Structure 1
Amino acid sequence: MTKDPAETRFATLTFERKIAAPVSVLWQACTAPAARALWASPDPSVTVEILEADTRVGGREVSLCKVEGEPDIRCENGWLFLAEGERSINYEVISCEGQTLSAALVTAAFAKSGSGSQLTLTVQLSALGEGMEEGYRQGFGSGLDNLSGVATRTMVLQREIKAPRSLVWAAWMNPETLPKWWGPDGFSCRTSRIDLRSGGEWVFDMIAPDGRVFPNHHLYHDIVPEERFGYTLLWGENGPKHADAWASFEDRNGATRVTLAIVFTTEAEFQTAKGFGAEALGQQTLGKLEKVVLEG
């Protein structure tokens, strides 16, 4: 018996992945706009451009999937439910040249699995265009494979500072104060130039207590005042890239939770960083930020 074509346009798709990263790290990799920009492309030929992003209940994310020679595909996500480290629910609407191709309800469930995580993604799809179900299977499958790779080389540092978000942001995104506290205990910064705006940069040397010099070059993007910013880390001025990073700032009953996340370019670089104690050194850096903020 031939199936009614309309019946083929409704589907429930389930994707499961075991990922070698803690749930707290996986949550950040899944929901932070800067991280989503790194893994969302299903194929190297597809460029994903995020136009707006607000990861809060009631907020939305709008992105364009671009393939050379083809019209852009627009994706709008709206966040309906966010329980950190447990579950997220969002709607997703796909369109092209003003025509809606699909709508879906996407539920992501997070759980601890051994030393890593279990991610279960359920997509309740209503497809208005031909081939959308298969497109979802391929797109989400590839995207989650990418997510697995990103999450396993991501380092997440968090600190709650008992001060308003405006003061914490001002201490970080100020070219006068940032070089004074950036870096682990005993390190200092020698700045060549600094411009903390989207499209701006910070070229500087980190100087260790023993005098060793570590050249750095940060390239800034996606700056949303008092909320978040992203940046790329290079080994020295215009040197090779070694990581993508972002920082976010959240109100916590009068305090501010700062999240600093770093996605290393390779698994080897991530393991090297863990090996020399980058997490503890990063916490020292955030401790110096806290001291600057609290001392005014």
Structure 2
Amino acid sequence: MSATGPGAPAQSATADREIVISRVIDAPRELVFEAFTEVRHLSRWWGPDGFTTTTRSFEFRVGGEWDFVMHGPDGTDYPEWISWTEIAPPERIALLHGESRGDTNAFESVLRFEPEGAATRIEMYTVFPTKELRDEAVEKYHAIEGGRQTLGNLAAYVAEIVRKGAER
């Protein structure tokens, strides 16, 4: 049951095409943002558990692209492509993500980085072109669990940077 009328929460027009994943990461916002925006960091943590990433090209700017391959633990290669559509350091990144440039099934994501005390809350808000593509991403590719694992890998990676910094 959903409420309607003045003061009721609005149902998003894209709700059936969305995935929203968030996590609090015990690191400063600037470091978490940097880990998302520099290829030397991304290649160390990007992807779900057991995956590795090989970058073919990377240019972090509005209109720039990240062309890469994710290597699954079973040896399967997944070509990936991201184009940055908005960059507002250190608060927000918007991007288009598909298998390659021109992918008609590419999805849009917005990442928000919010300070939460000394930590950072990161929220990944993703909208797929259709409900069917969203459902396929969830059911076939385990997108929700994969997204959670990816943010877990980010959290572990920046925790290691913070720990090494504290040792100096």
Normalising by the smaller structure, the TM-score range is 0.7 to 0.9
Q: What pairs up with 1:82-121 in 2 under 5 angstroms?
A: 113=1, 117-118=2-3, 120-121=5-6
Match of 1:264 among 107, 128, 135: 128
% same residue: 34
In the alignment, the residues of structure 2 paired with residue 269 and residue 121 of structure 1 have an alpha-carbon distance, to the nearest angstrom, of 32
Paired residue for 1:292, among 143, 154, 157?
A: 157
Q: Distance in 1 between matches of 2:4 and 2:46?
A: 35
1:160 is matched with 24
How far 1:120 sits from its partner (Å)? 3.8
Q: Which residue of 1 aligns with 2:56?
A: 192
Greater strand fraction, Structure 1 or Structure 2: 1
Corresponding position of 2:38: 174
Give the Cα separation in 2 of the matches to 1:174 and 1:118: 43
C-alpha spacing 1:235/1:120, structure 2 compared with 1 (3 Å) = farther
Q: Please give the residue correspondences for 1:131-150 in structure 2 after superposition, counting only pairs within 5 Å.
A: 147-148=12-13, 150=14
TM-score, structure 1 normalization: 0.51
2:108–2:127 Cα contact (<8 Å) kept: yes
The aligned residue for residue 215 of structure 1 is 79
Rounded Cα–Cα distance in structure 1 between residues aligned with 2:127 and 2:136: 13
Q: Structure 1 CA distance, aligned partners of 2:144 and 2:123?
A: 13
Q: Residues 120 and 256 (structure 1 numbering): CA distance in 2 closer, same or farther, change over 3 Å?
A: farther
Question: Shift in Å at residue 240 of structure 1?
Answer: 2.8
Corresponding position of 2:165: none
* 1:178 CA drift (Å): 0.9
1:278 aligns with 2:148: no
Instruction: Quote the Cα distance in structure 1 between the aligned partners of 2:72 and 2:58.
Output: 20
The residue type equivalent to 1:264 in the other structure is: F
| CA drift at 1:199 | 1.2
RMSD: 1.8
Change (3 A) 1:120 1:252: farther
C-alpha distance after superposition, 1:53-73 (max 9, x if no partner): xxxxxxxxxxxxxxxxxxxxx
Structure 1 or 2: larger helix share? 2
The separation in 2 between residues aligned to 1:282 and 1:118, in whole angstroms, is 30
Q: Deviations over 1:83-117 (max 9, x none)?
A: xxxxxxxxxxxxxxxxxxxxxxxxxxxxxx3xxx5
Consecutive unaligned residues of structure 2, counting only runs of 5 or more, are 162-168
TM-score normalised per structure 2: 0.87
What is the CA distance between 1:273 and its match in structure 2?
1.6
The size of the alignment, in residue pairs, is 158
Whole-angstrom distance in 1 between the partners of 2:27 and 2:135: 34
Structure-to-structure mapping, 1:22-33, within 5 angstroms: none
- In the alignment, the residues of structure 2 paired with residue 224 and residue 292 of structure 1 have an alpha-carbon distance, to the nearest angstrom, of 22
TM superposition shift of 1:266: 0.8
Which residue type is aligned with residue 183 of structure 1? Answer: G
Residues 119 and 263 of structure 1: is their aligned pair in 2 closer, same or farther, counting only changes over 3 Å? farther
Check 1:121–1:192 CA distance in 2 against 1; reply closer, same or farther (3 A cut): farther
Per the alignment, residue 71 of structure 1 pairs with none
Aligned match of 1:133:
none
Higher RCO, 1 or 2 (CA under 8 Å, sep at least 6)?
2
User: Residues 32-71 of structure 1 correspond to what in structure 2 (within 5 A)?
Assistant: none
Asked if structure 1 preserves the Cα contact closer than 8 Å seen for 2:105 and 2:133, the reply is no
The CA distance in 2 between the partners of 1:274 and 1:239, in whole Å, is 19
